[in-house]
């Protein structure tokens, strides 16, 4: 009765994807969680997607995962970010009704064939020696229940020895109001032979909606869209309004005057925090020249009385939080419903993992999500999906499923974290992908849906629609490429802007020239055709740069290079080059987020200084 093929420990965003994928592929799967009513919760930002992160959600969709399905039914507002730039670096971001999201996740998980959802706090990983190898055999819970399986996936999020910090006050918790998992880390360390380390993340306070003066804030408009993350079109509506306000000089003075009271700066926290989603204390300490920082004001669930002020996460004492929050326009009379807090937790350094997310020292034991040093629901879900797929393939003695970094953002993320490891919570950005002109949102189904079909995660009906769209895109691109570059149709699809008028014109021309019904040519297909034509020259140039990098991999990087003064490098890459100090181009190439353009700059400078 307690025998399964795959056991997933933890039912956050990584856990539900892992369990859903393994079960859909045919494995008898057990999903263990502390509280059945809090699966797939959003303890921080009530949103899904964004720049880089949105690409991951699209890829989960193309592979048949769960997150995009939940998004379609529980979104409140949809916005496409970076629309002033090309399609390769745009990102879909959805405001989510987080309680409906969790409720729907539980319903789907409960109804999924081969999947059992149970409550239980896991305290021990069970292993045995076989053929000179350590293999996982199951788990033991706090109430002495033993569940056996040849594959176990750990998706513990922030629960391993989690400690919440509000000023100098601390409490053991995995999330606010939920108990931490205190014993599992030691069991995992003993089983794997790997010492776990500590990371830190945080969340802002929640405010009573009726106490906010929205008239002092800027409205964030929704984007008119025909699609969200799923393949099928959807009638996209704006169900709530989001706003932006800014911190002030007074805000910054209050925080500066109280920095020593922060758990982070007062020495209470040893874990490393995220550079790209820092606390408000971090922002002001690191960027003293900045007069203000954006605060994104969003509903913490539709028709609820709480507001989530994104951008001001903190570990300051409550009385200081109240003082600085009320110095922000629109928040002058803000009433707190929940204080902001920092949370510190154990994580496994991911360079101890294989590309399948199986730990190198124990067969059948996988790790996915925040326990691997990443941050964000999307990054967690992408890893969970990969771990679930590979756990099923492993026990059925089939070849592993490994996504290459040149074909997916999930592949970039996994390659980054296991190749270099993490020195801070890892967050996905489009800049991390060397081939981001190819890894676009519009072509995600072309890139990855055949994998999803092969893995039995995509149903026949959707796949048939995909094949029809694929044929339209291929015929259209072939037709346009054969035209003279001065022809009106080539110039139309090659233009920088791609507004609704141009889309409609392009659709009409293609339907006439290729004898297609206009209804068959979707806005996604048109964007993909436009991107393929628009980026053709850039992609060929990128390939040339990649070939050049291969030729110069053994070239030594000059020690005289001052990265801070090297124009063409982002601040992030300047910082990473200073930290890693690569001696050769090959070593520099391994740095997460390194681009062919940046490597070309290093090659040029090194050749001129040797």
Q: In this predicted structure, what is the pLDDT of residue 539?
A: 82
Domain presence at residue 605 = yes
pLDDT tens readout for residues 436-451: 899 999 999 999 999 9
Out of 81-90, 201-210, 380-389, 543-552, least confident range: 543-552
Domain presence at residue 351 = yes
Q: In this predicted structure, what is the pLDDT of residue 275?
A: 57
Asked whether residue 492 falls in the same domain as residue 598, the answer is no
Domain presence at residue 468 = no
* pLDDT bucket at 413, cuts 50 / 70 / 90: very high
Q: In this predicted structure, what is the pLDDT of residue 129?
A: 92
Q: In this predicted structure, what is the pLDDT of residue 104?
A: 98
SS3 state of residue 372: helix
Other beta carbons within 10 Å of 100: 16
pLDDT tens readout for residues 584-604: 988 888 786 677 778 888 998
The residue among 381, 405, 432 that closes a domain is 432
Alpha carbon distance 532, 517 (integer Å)? 22
pLDDT tens readout for residues 264-311: 666 666 656 555 557 898 888 888 888 899 999 999 876 778 999 999
Asked whether residue 395 falls in the same domain as residue 379, the answer is yes
Asked whether residue 123 falls in the same domain as residue 148, the answer is yes
pLDDT tens readout for residues 104-134: 999 999 999 999 999 999 999 999 998 889 9
Supply the Cα-derived Rg of the chain in whole angstroms: 25
Strand 75-81 with 115-119, pairing: unpaired
How many domains does the chain divide into? 3
Q: In this predicted structure, what is the pLDDT of residue 219?
A: 95
Asked whether residue 428 falls in the same domain as residue 492, the answer is no
- Locate all alpha helices (DSSP H) within 75-178, ordered by sequence: 98-111
Range of the domain at 408: 7-42+99-201+345-432
pLDDT tens readout for residues 208-236: 999 999 999 999 999 999 999 999 999 99
Give 561's contacts (C-beta < 8 A, 6+ positions apart).
Answer: 602, 605, 606, 609
Asked whether residue 26 falls in the same domain as residue 103, the answer is yes
Q: In this predicted structure, what is the pLDDT of residue 600?
A: 85
Q: What percent of the chain has pLDDT over 70?
A: 97
Mean pLDDT on 305-331: 95
Q: In this predicted structure, what is the pLDDT of residue 308?
A: 95
The residue among 505, 534, 563 that closes a domain is 534
Domain presence at residue 74 = no
Give 5's contacts (C-beta < 8 A, 6+ positions apart).
Answer: 22, 27, 28, 29, 149, 150, 151, 392, 395
Asked whether residue 482 falls in the same domain as residue 354, the answer is no
The residue among 432, 461, 487 that closes a domain is 432
pLDDT tens readout for residues 421-477: 888 899 998 888 878 899 999 999 999 999 999 999 999 999 999 999 999 999 999
- For residue 133, give the CATH number of its domain: 3.50.50.60
Q: 161 pLDDT exceeds 70?
A: yes
Which residues make beta-bridge pairs with 218?
244
Asked whether residue 15 falls in the same domain as residue 104, the answer is yes
Out of 116-120, 378-382, 505-509, 557-561, least confident range: 557-561
Which residues make beta-bridge pairs with 245?
295
Domain presence at residue 331 = no
Out of 146-155, 516-525, 535-544, least confident range: 535-544
Asked whether residue 363 falls in the same domain as residue 407, the answer is yes
Domain presence at residue 113 = yes
pLDDT tens readout for residues 382-399: 999 999 999 999 999 999
Per the model's pLDDT, the better-predicted residue between 351 and 579 turns out to be 351
Q: 544 pLDDT exceeds 80?
A: no
Asked whether residue 36 falls in the same domain as residue 183, the answer is yes
Alpha carbon distance 519, 468 (integer Å)? 12
Q: In this predicted structure, what is the pLDDT of residue 573?
A: 87
Per the model's pLDDT, the better-predicted residue between 58 and 425 turns out to be 58
- Please state, rounded to an integer, the average pLDDT across all residues of the chain: 92
- For residue 552, give the CATH number of its domain: 1.10.150.570
Q: 350 pLDDT exceeds 60?
A: yes
* Terminal Cα-to-Cα distance of the chain (whole angstroms): 68
Q: 48 pLDDT exceeds 60?
A: yes
Domain presence at residue 551 = yes
Q: In this predicted structure, what is the pLDDT of residue 268?
A: 61
Q: In this predicted structure, what is the pLDDT of residue 610?
A: 55
- Locate all alpha helices (DSSP H) within 93-183, ordered by sequence: 98-111
Asked whether residue 36 falls in the same domain as residue 103, the answer is yes
Q: In this predicted structure, what is the pLDDT of residue 548?
A: 74
pLDDT tens readout for residues 70-89: 999 999 999 999 988 888 89
Asked whether residue 518 falls in the same domain as residue 587, the answer is no
Domain presence at residue 584 = yes
Instruction: Please report, for residues 19, 54, 156, 382, the alpha-carbon distance to residue 10 in angstroms, rounded to integers and kept in the order given.
Output: 10, 23, 5, 15
Asked whether residue 414 falls in the same domain as residue 491, the answer is no
């Amino acid at each position: 009765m307690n025998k399964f093929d795959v056991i997933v420990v933890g039912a956050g965003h990584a856990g539900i994807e892992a369990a859903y994928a393994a079960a859909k592929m045919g494995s008898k799967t057990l999903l263990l969680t502390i509280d059945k009513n809090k699966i797939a919760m959003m303890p921080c930002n009530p949103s899904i997607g964004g720049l880089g992160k949105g690409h991951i959600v699209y890829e989960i969709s193309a592979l048949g995962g769960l997150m995009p399905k939940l998004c379609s039914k529980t979104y409140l507002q949809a916005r496409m970010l970076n629309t002033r730039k090309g399609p390769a670096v745009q990102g879909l971001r959805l405001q989510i009704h987080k309680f409906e999201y969790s409720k729907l996740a539980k319903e789907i998980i409960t109804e999924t064939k081969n999947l059992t959802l149970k409550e239980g706090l896991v305290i021990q990983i069970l292993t045995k020696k076989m053929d000179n190898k350590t293999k996982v055999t199951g788990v033991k819970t706090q109430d002495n229940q033993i569940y056996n399986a040849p594959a176990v996936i750990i998706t513990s999020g922030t629960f391993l020895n989690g400690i919440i910090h509000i000023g100098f006050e601390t409490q053991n918790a995995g999330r606010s109001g939920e108990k931490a998992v205190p014993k599992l880390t030691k069991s995992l360390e003993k089983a794997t032979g790997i010492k776990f380390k500590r990371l830190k993340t945080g969340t802002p306070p929640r405010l009573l909606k009726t106490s906010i003066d929205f008239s002092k804030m800027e409205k964030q408009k929704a984007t008119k869209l025909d699609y969200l993350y799923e393949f099928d079109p959807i009638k996209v509506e704006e169900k709530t309004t989001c706003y932006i306000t800014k911190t002030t000089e007074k805000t910054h003075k209050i925080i500066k005057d109280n920095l020593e009271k922060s758990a982070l700066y007062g020495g209470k926290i040893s874990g490393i925090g995220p550079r790209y989603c820092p606390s408000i204390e971090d922002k002001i300490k690191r960027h003293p020249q900045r007069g203000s920082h954006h605060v994104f004001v969003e509903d913490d669930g539709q028709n609820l009385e709480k507001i989530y002020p994104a951008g001001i996460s903190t570990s300051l004492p409550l009385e200081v939080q109240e003082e600085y929050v009320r110095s922000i326009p629109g928040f002058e009379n803000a009433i707190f419903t929940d204080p902001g807090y920092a949370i510190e937790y154990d994580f496994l350094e991911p360079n101890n993992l294989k590309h399948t997310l199986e730990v190198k020292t124990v067969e059948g034991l996988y790790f996915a999500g925040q326990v691997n040093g990443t941050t964000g629901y999307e990054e967690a879900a992408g890893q969970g999906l990969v771990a679930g797929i590979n756990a099923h393939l492993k026990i059925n003695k089939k070849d592993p499923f490994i996504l290459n970094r040149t074909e997916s953002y999930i592949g970039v993320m996994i390659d980054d974290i296991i190749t270099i490891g993490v020195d801070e919570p890892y967050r996905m950005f489009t800049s991390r992908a060397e081939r981001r002109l190819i890894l676009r949102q519009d072509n995600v189904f072309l890139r990855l849906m055949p994998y999803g079909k092969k893995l039995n995660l995509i149903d026949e009906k959707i796949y048939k629609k995909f094949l029809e769209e694929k044929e339209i895109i291929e015929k259209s691109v072939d037709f346009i490429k054969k035209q003279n570059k001065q022809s009106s149709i080539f110039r139309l699809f090659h233009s920088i802007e791609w507004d609704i008028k141009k889309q409609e014109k392009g659709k009409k021309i293609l339907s006439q020239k290729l004898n297609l019904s206009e209804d068959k040519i979707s806005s996604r297909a048109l964007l993909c055709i436009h991107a393929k034509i628009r980026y053709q020259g850039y992609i060929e140039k990128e390939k040339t740069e990649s070939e050049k990098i291969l030729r110069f991999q053994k070239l030594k990087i000059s020690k005289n290079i001052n990265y801070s003064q090297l124009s063409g490098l982002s601040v992030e890459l300047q910082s990473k080059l200073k930290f890693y100090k690569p001696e050769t181009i090959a070593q520099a190439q391994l740095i997460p987020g390194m681009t062919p353009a940046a490597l070309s700059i290093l090659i040029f400078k090194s050749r001129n200084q040797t």
